């Protein structure tokens, strides 16, 4: 690797576009989507898809809503030829779907391509040849005029053969391969020459696909290239400008979005960005980016887990854990501050929905979550996961979401620290069940040194005609069975009175809360009590029971036992 002056590589070439307009544009509608999973995606696989796997992928793409699907390079591969013929002969192509076929601008390949398309209801013939300086020099050893002639001769042959596809609604697409590395004026000259031969119109436009075959410049330069091209194309109304970005610099998605802002109409890409080297454009990410800003992407992405499952099975390619929208961890927070913010956002959203009275869903405003996971078929179960970096809010969220325990806010830091220390000691993530079991072992139904075997409640009036409660409990304290008795304005205060009558009370009651868990006949109650000992230390206890009264007493006993354990 060179240091200092780098002589091996040259800077990217900018475009002379001083009055660019694309930075002020806003994407407010979806482009035309074209899937190239069965071509570009398939050719990049270590083990290409079988015909059966291709059929499954094709059906998935149709189900998602793609209306233009590049199904292969039938003139270059017998497998791809047979696949296309099977789609046609078994009537697997919906009437509103165009199958796209790729072909180099070479006569025998073009003729073979037309053979493969016989009987297709709708088709796009995608002709290409390389136009960049390095391709002209290294691959073809031809000058500009000769390379342009390859494109125009190929177009002329496609036009000549088009009438042979009787009953097929045929469209034509041309790609100056390596457009991003081609001189803009020359790429325009070649495309103008192709249009001169094809003679498109506004009613029957040509598709001009401008590939970033290798991503060799930042996305803003790509946008300049697209805007310059669109502004200088003589018959812009007779052309659909299509993008086909790759991800060599890691900015393929940004390049596509800026290219759309710059005037492009159409996008080619693959599911999850599968493709040569660093991959093609990930159409799912661009589509959901539009959705996240309130634009209908025109694709059904409501079940990403299913789409991912079929993709991984047919391509044998895993979707990374951090893949935008689709990875296992993209809606997951381990950080404590993130978890706390997410919990607050989800709590507020539940409150807003409960108060909505059937109105439209409230605006999505949950910190750290770009979209609602449920919109794309993902559940809330994995939003917050607990390890040693997690915080109080995350632990409280898990206990509430999975086990119905709505802990008092003052309890969150203490419980969060308990769980974090356990995760740190074990050096791994803790499951929800492990968190719940640790919470129960620490706070719920603790039986030493005090336990209650049974109790009886009596309601009566005092001499002042006020309501009072007397509790008689069969208790066991430090190994000895005793009958204790106390009075108060409720069962909790009466039990505190019973403890005081025995000389066991060395605390004051700070807080008592309760709530139901579940609904119907299986409803239980959870109670939380906080006490403060005479030395100033505080302790929480929790009780869970079908009876709210019993749950409260158990919470008090648990807090007492924690204070004296």
User: Which residues have C-beta within 8 Å of that of residue 316, sequence separation ≥ 6?
Assistant: 45, 46, 47
pLDDT value of residue 385: 55
Q: Is residue 501 part of a domain?
A: yes
Question: Which one of 443, 469, 499 terminates a domain?
Answer: 443
- DSSP 8-state symbol, 330: T
pLDDT value of residue 328: 86
Considering the domain architecture, whether residues 38 and 156 belong to the same structural domain is answered as: yes
- CATH number, domain at 59? 3.20.20.70
Considering the domain architecture, whether residues 463 and 419 belong to the same structural domain is answered as: no
Q: Centre a 10 Å sphere on the Cβ of residue 392 and count the other Cβ atoms it contains.
A: 23
Alpha-carbon dihedral angle through residues 191, 194, 196, 199, given to the nearest 10 degrees: -110
Q: What is the pTM of this model?
A: 0.76
Round to whole Å and give the CA distance between 167 and 13: 46
Round to whole Å and give the CA distance between 561 and 557: 6
In 3D space, the residue among 420, 530, 476, 524 whose CA is nearest the CA of residue 542 turns out to be 530
Question: Which one of 382, 413, 443 terminates a domain?
Answer: 443
Considering the domain architecture, whether residues 437 and 455 belong to the same structural domain is answered as: no
Contact status, residue 336 vs residue 389, Cβ threshold 8 Å: yes
pLDDT in tens for each of the 565 residues of the chain? 989 989 888 888 899 898 999 999 999 999 999 999 999 999 999 999 999 999 999 999 999 999 999 999 999 989 899 999 999 999 999 999 999 999 999 999 999 999 999 999 999 999 999 999 999 999 889 999 999 999 999 999 999 999 999 999 999 999 999 999 999 999 999 999 999 999 999 999 999 999 999 999 999 999 999 999 999 999 999 999 999 999 999 999 999 999 999 999 999 999 999 999 999 999 999 999 999 999 999 999 999 999 999 999 999 999 999 999 999 888 877 776 777 788 888 888 888 887 775 566 788 999 989 999 999 998 765 565 555 455 566 788 888 888 999 999 889 889 988 888 888 888 887 888 998 999 999 999 788 999 988 888 888 776 665 778 888 989 999 989 989 998 888 888 889 989 998 989 899 999 999 999 977 767 899 999 999 998 999 999 999 998 888 999 999 999 999 999 7
Q: Which two tokens stand for residue 6?
A: 């780098």
Considering the domain architecture, whether residues 157 and 139 belong to the same structural domain is answered as: yes
- DSSP 8-state symbol, 75: T
Q: Is residue 272 part of a domain?
A: yes
Considering the domain architecture, whether residues 251 and 146 belong to the same structural domain is answered as: yes
Considering the domain architecture, whether residues 47 and 115 belong to the same structural domain is answered as: yes
Query: What percent helix, strand, coil does the chain show, rounded to 5?
Result: 45, 20, 35
Angle at 441 between CA 438 and CA 442, to 5 degrees: 85
pLDDT value of residue 383: 60
H or E element at residue 433: helix 432-443
Q: Is residue 362 part of a domain?
A: yes
- DSSP 8-state symbol, 54: H
Q: Is the dihedral of CA 424, 430, 436, 437 positive or negative?
A: negative
Round to whole Å and give the CA distance between 215 and 249: 6
Domain count, the chain: 3
Q: Compute the residue count for the chain.
A: 565
Considering the domain architecture, whether residues 202 and 173 belong to the same structural domain is answered as: yes
Q: Is residue 18 part of a domain?
A: no
Considering the domain architecture, whether residues 266 and 177 belong to the same structural domain is answered as: yes
Range of the domain at 408: 336-443
Q: Is residue 340 part of a domain?
A: yes
Q: Is residue 193 part of a domain?
A: yes
- CATH number, domain at 454? 3.30.160.270
pLDDT value of residue 106: 96
Considering the domain architecture, whether residues 54 and 78 belong to the same structural domain is answered as: yes
Rg (CA), the chain: 34
pLDDT value of residue 462: 66
Q: Is residue 521 part of a domain?
A: yes
SS (H, E, C) 21-49: CHHHCCCCCCCEEEECHHHHHHHCCCCCC
Considering the domain architecture, whether residues 284 and 367 belong to the same structural domain is answered as: no
Q: Which two tokens stand for residue 347?
A: 């709590």
Q: How far is CA 427 from the centre of its chain?
A: 27
- DSSP 8-state symbol, 375: G
Question: Which one of 418, 443, 468 terminates a domain?
Answer: 443
Considering the domain architecture, whether residues 459 and 551 belong to the same structural domain is answered as: yes
Considering the domain architecture, whether residues 439 and 454 belong to the same structural domain is answered as: no
pLDDT value of residue 52: 93
Q: Is residue 527 part of a domain?
A: yes
Contact status, residue 545 vs residue 525, Cβ threshold 8 Å: yes
């Amino acid at each position: 690797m060179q240091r200092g002056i780098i002589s091996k590589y040259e800077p990217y070439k900018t475009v002379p576009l001083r009055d660019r307009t694309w930075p002020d544009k806003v994407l407010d509608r979806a482009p035309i989507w074209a899937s190239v999973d069965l071509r570009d995606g398939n050719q990049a696989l270590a083990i290409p898809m079988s015909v059966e796997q291709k059929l499954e992928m094709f059906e998935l793409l149709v189900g998602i809503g793609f209306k233009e699907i590049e199904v292969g390079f039938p003139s270059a591969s017998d497998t791809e030829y047979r696949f296309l013929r099977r789609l046609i002969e078994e009537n697997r192509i919906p009437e509103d779907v165009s199958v796209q076929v790729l072909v180099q601008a070479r006569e025998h390949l073009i003729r073979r391509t037309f053979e493969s398309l016989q009987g297709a209801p709708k088709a796009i013939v995608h002709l290409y040849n390389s136009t960049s300086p390095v391709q002209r020099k290294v691959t073809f050893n031809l000058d500009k005029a000769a390379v342009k002639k390859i494109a125009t001769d190929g177009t002329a042959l496609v036009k000549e053969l088009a009438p042979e596809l009787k009953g097929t609604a045929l469209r034509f697409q041309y790609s100056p391969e390596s457009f991003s590395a081609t001189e803009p004026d020359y790429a325009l000259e070649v495309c103008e020459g192709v249009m001169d031969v094809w003679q498109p119109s506004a009613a029957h436009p040509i598709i001009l696909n401008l590939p970033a075959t290798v991503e060799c410049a930042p996305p803003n330069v790509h946008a300049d290239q697209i805007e310059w091209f669109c502004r200088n194309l003589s018959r812009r109304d007779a052309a659909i400008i299509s993008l086909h970005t790759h991800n060599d610099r890691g900015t393929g998605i940004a390049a596509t979005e800026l290219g759309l802002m710059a005037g492009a109409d159409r996008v080619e890409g693959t599911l999850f960005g599968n493709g040569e080297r660093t991959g093609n454009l990930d159409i799912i990410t661009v589509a959901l980016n539009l959705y996240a800003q309130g634009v209908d992407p025109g694709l059904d992405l409501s079940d990403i887990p299913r789409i991912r499952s079929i993709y991984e099975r047919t391509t044998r390619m895993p979707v990374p854990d951090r893949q935008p929208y689709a990875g296992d961890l993209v809606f997951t927070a381990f950080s404590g501050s993130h978890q706390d913010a997410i919990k607050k956002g989800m709590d507020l959203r539940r409150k807003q929905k409960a108060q909505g009275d059937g109105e439209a869903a409230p605006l999505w405003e949950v910190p750290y979550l770009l979209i609602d996971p449920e919109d794309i078929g993902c559940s809330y179960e994995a939003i917050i996961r607990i390890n040693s970096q997690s915080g109080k809010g995350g632990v409280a969220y898990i206990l509430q979401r999975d086990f119905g325990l709505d802990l008092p806010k003052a309890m969150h830091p203490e419980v969060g620290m308990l769980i974090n220390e356990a995760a740190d000691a074990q050096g791994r993530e803790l499951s929800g069940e492990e968190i719940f079991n640790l919470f129960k072992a620490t706070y719920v139904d603790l039986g030493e040194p005090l336990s209650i075997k049974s109790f009886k409640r009596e309601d009566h009036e005092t001499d002042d005609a006020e309501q009072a409660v007397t509790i008689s409990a069969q208790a066991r304290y430090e190994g000895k069975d005793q009958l204790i008795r106390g009075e108060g304005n409720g069962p909790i205060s009466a039990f505190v009175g019973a403890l005081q009558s025995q000389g066991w009370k060395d605390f004051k009651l700070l807080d008592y809360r309760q709530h139901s868990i579940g609904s119907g006949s299986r409803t239980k109650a959870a109670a939380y009590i906080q006490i403060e000992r005479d030395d100033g230390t505080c302790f929480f206890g929790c009780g869970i029971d079908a009876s709210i009264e019993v749950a409260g007493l158990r919470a008090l006993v648990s807090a007492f036992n924690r204070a004296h354990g």
